Chains A and B, each alone.
Chain A
């Protein structure tokens, strides 16, 4: 009998352990790499963004890399990179670090007194923060029909879930996409497409709502992490339409004296109905502090609008305990309509704060659309 109890406890603990591990990107996950003459800083920053880790590349780690590997664990790719380039690439205290010697030049600055109580998390917890989020609940009311869905967005799967507004076959479909998560506040950014176009940010006990009226009738949406009953688990994911949209963004500092330094200027070819994440390292010339800017966006299924969150990030040391902490400043999306893709639209602004000493403004310069039914990623 005692042996039976021990066995049952073992299986229960194994199950709980598996659930707790979450679906986060694991450094043992396999990736395929096919690059030629790429800058190692670009490659390491991309790998860091893929694994949801802050990145630091030493300024003298300047070289190009050519590498072809297939289905190799992420950790092993780092080892091969180090061996082939002479730049030591490794995971160090939750950061992806690249340097020519074992000790990188990275030195986080002491957090200014006024930001010591700003929201933050230890750097080592950044990678797993997004995967610890619970499911959230979406209640829709359309033409008097109410339905509820419990939505989960595991990493490594398509982040769009289709939610029919009623059981009728002809009912409109709401496409719900989680396109960004702020690891510090746990806020997630949700794009609504199809039956309604909109952006929601939800987290904690907050309840986000939107209402719209179109030819099919009035529609209201409520999203919250507070459990709603009865709610069905929805996990149907549909393939997006095959249509690519090229978007050009420019993010630059903005001060009283006018536009300042450009901090990132990505030009991205994005499939409609999918998400994009672009990350750029930035070194503050005045203080030497290393920061990162992260652009997360969802491009609508018809390619006509985009939902954007720009986040400034910084690592500071708290002198009270000597720990490295991760600070973020996401641009607000509360009440903001999705931005129609047109010439020179301002898509995100960040005020100065713990993660950026100067305000940042991001502009969408324009787009170019390319439709190819045979095109694949």
Chain B
């Protein structure tokens, strides 16, 4: 029988023919054994199902990972934004009339010694 002959014969199957085949398969011991073997082979291809405790642990781990992700998104960044550099606490200003340093406590002023009246020779 060619494939075309098999397909044309399937097309000619009536509902009565199909019901007769199914009735035979349910009543036939050989057919039932073949059916169980087929189910066993198919079950071997499916992912392994764990025990109840394993399933609970798996779902708890997934929930914990999700919780950490959500919590991390809601928390502020671990490193705070870098503040602007603090300005110097000491500011020295001056001109030809003098120099003064402003400090947190007040002012500091310095006057150089008066120059020697005669030229310095090294």
Contacts and interface: CB of A to CB of B under 8 A. Distances in A.
A36 interface: yes
Interface stretch (A12-20, A43-51, A108-116, A214-222): A43-51
Contacts, number: 157
Contacts of A64: 96
B113 to A, nearest CB: 3
B92 to A, nearest CB: 5
B106 A274 contact: yes
Interface string B87-121: 11111111110111111111111111111100010
Find the residue from B89, B112, B116 having the highest chain A CB count within 10 A.
B112
A205 interface: no
Nearest to B89: A156
Given A37-B96, A276-B107, A57 B112 contact: yes
Nearest to A237: B104
B106 A50 contact: no
A4 B85 CA distance: 37
A279 B109 contact: yes
B109 A46 contact: yes
B102 A55 contact: no
Chain B interface mostly: strand
Contact of A34 (B92, B96, B112): B92
Contacts of B87: 32, 71
A35 B110 CA distance: 14
A271 interface: yes
B104 A157 contact: yes
Contact of A55 (B108, B110, B114): B110
Find the residue from A39, A45, A281, A282 having the highest chain B CB count within 10 A.
A39
A264 interface: yes
A29 B113 contact: no
Nearest to B112: A41
B104 A158 contact: yes
A283 B112 contact: no
Contacts of A210: none
A358 interface: no
B107 A268 contact: yes
A280 interface: yes
Given A36-B95, A57-B112, A31 B104 contact: no
Given A43-B99, A59-B115, A49 B109 contact: yes
Nearest to B85: A71
B107 A42 contact: no
A41 B109 CA distance: 12
Interface in A50-73: 50, 55, 57-60, 62, 64, 70-72
Given A71-B88, A268-B109, A276-B108, 5 more contacts: A38-B94, A42-B98, A50-B103, A159-B105, A276-B106
